């Protein structure tokens, strides 16, 4: 039995290139492929690596995140109604949540059961110097700890020690480091949001750091 499966597998593998080249030959002209794009399932529209929906803040049953077959999904307040009157941003779900909290428009609960629990707010900025011409990154603890307990980040996402963590844009865009939340539950990386994180301008006399090789051989 096992042998037969193995044999079938080998046959399938050797047939595959033939099938693939046939598929290639049978591909419809480019125009049709473009038209077919609209039929892609919307089940994964929450994934920012896929094409985004053009509509803003869809109701829960249509947002591709909540299950439309679950009756409770339809009980949830649609974002457009819930967010009415909150300060806006040009990206993400278009609400400036930090400003909304600072201006007392929201009173989040810090404990599911006990409404009297107060948040543990820490006002500590961490500057991460960036080795390229973009402004340096300031990680502000304050707006984070107004929403999140320390344990959301320490120690699993970040070791609580300045410069102890390796961070870069590729990791962030792939959903690591800051990208664990930014782009999912907090404002995303877009061409309009760079300066939210890259908020500290470089000193006027800033020069890109040079490698040991270029310091040794300055003529290079």
* Adjacent-strand bridge partners of 127: 138
Are 167 and 178 in contact, with CB atoms under 8 Å apart?
yes
What tokens appear for 38 in the block? 């609209």
C-alpha closest to that of 165 among 125, 128, 220: 128
Nearer to ligand HEC, 76 or 134 (CB): 134
Q: How many CA atoms lie within 13 A of 143 on its CB side?
A: 16
Tell me the C-alpha distance between 193 and 91, whole Å: 7
Min separation Cβ 176 and ligand HEC, Å: 9
Report how many helices (DSSP H) and strands (DSSP E) the chain contains, helices first: 8, 2
Are 60 and 78 in contact, with CB atoms under 8 Å apart?
yes
Q: How many CA atoms lie within 13 A of 111 on its CB side?
A: 8
Nearer to ligand HEC, 20 or 122 (CB): 122
Min separation Cβ 6 and ligand HEC, Å: 46
**Contact track, ligand HEC, 73-112, x by CB under 6 A:** ------------------------xx--------------
162 contacts ligand HEC (rule: CB under 6 A):
yes
169 contacts ligand HEC (rule: CB under 6 A):
yes
Min separation Cβ 129 and ligand HEC, Å: 7
Task: Summarize as ranges the residues that interact with ligand HEC (CB under 6 A).
Answer: 97-98, 120, 122, 126, 128, 130, 132, 134, 137, 139-141, 143-145, 147-148, 150, 152-154, 157-158, 160-165, 167-170, 172, 177-178, 180-182, 185-187, 189, 191, 193-194, 196-198
């Amino acid at each position: 039995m096992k042998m037969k499966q193995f044999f079938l597998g080998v046959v399938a593998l050797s047939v595959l290139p033939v099938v693939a080249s046939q598929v290639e030959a049978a591909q419809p002209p480019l125009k049709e492929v473009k038209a077919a794009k609209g039929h892609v399932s919307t089940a994964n529209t929450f994934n920012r690596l896929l094409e985004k929906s053009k509509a803003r803040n869809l109701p829960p049953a249509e947002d591709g995140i909540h299950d439309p077959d679950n009756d409770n999904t339809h009980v949830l307040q649609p974002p457009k109604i819930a967010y009415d009157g909150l300060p806006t941003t040009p990206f993400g779900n278009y609400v400036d949540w930090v400003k909304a909290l600072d201006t007392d428009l929201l009173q989040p609960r810090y404990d599911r059961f006990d409404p009297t629990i107060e948040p543990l707010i820490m006002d500590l900025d961490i500057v991460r110097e960036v080795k390229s011409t973009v402004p340096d990154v300031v990680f502000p603890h304050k707006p984070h700890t107004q929403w999140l307990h320390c344990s959301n980040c320490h120690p699993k996402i970040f070791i609580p020690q300045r410069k102890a963590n390796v961070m870069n844009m590729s990791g962030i865009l792939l959903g690591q480091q800051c990208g664990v939340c930014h782009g999912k539950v907090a404002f995303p990386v877009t061409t309009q949001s760079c300066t939210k994180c890259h908020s500290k301008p470089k000193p006027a006399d800033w020069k890109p750091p040079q490698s040991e090789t270029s310091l040794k051989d300055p003529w290079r």
